[in-house]
Amino acid sequence: MKTKILVTGASGQLGKTIRELSSLHKEELRFIFTTKDELDITEKQKVQDYFSKNKFDYCINCAAYTNVDEAEHDSKSAFKVNAEGVKQLAIACKDTNTILIHISTDYVFDGTKNKPYTEEDETNPINEYGKSKLLGEYYIQKILHEYFIIRTSWLYSIYGKNFVKTIVNKINRDVELQITTSQKGTPTSCRDLSLFIIHLLKTRHQDFGLYNFTAQGEASWYDFAVQISKSFPHYDSSNISAVKEIITKANRPIYSVLNNFKSQKLFSKKTDWQSSTKEVVKKLNISL
Q: Which residues are catalytic?
A: 129
- Of 222, 207, 218, 219, the C-alpha closest to 263 is 207
Residue 22's identity, in one-letter code, is S
If phi > 0 it is left, if psi is from -120 to 50 it is alpha, else beta; for residue 104 that is beta
Q: Give CA–CA dist 61/270, Å, rounded.
A: 22
| Whether the Cβ atoms of residue 187 and residue 156 lie closer than 8 Å to each other | yes
Rounded to 5 degrees, φ, ψ at 101 are -115, 110
Residue 142 neighbours by CB distance under 10 Å:
9
Q: Pairing between strand 147-152 and 184-185?
A: unpaired
| Whether the Cβ atoms of residue 57 and residue 4 lie closer than 8 Å to each other | yes
Q: Give CA–CA dist 133/31, Å, rounded.
A: 25
Q: Give CA–CA dist 101/63, Å, rounded.
A: 11
> 133: exposed, middle or buried (C-beta count within 10 Å: 0-12, 13-18, 19+)?
buried
Residue 287's identity, in one-letter code, is S
| Whether the Cβ atoms of residue 113 and residue 184 lie closer than 8 Å to each other | no
Reduced to 3 states, what is the DSSP secondary structure of residue 189? strand
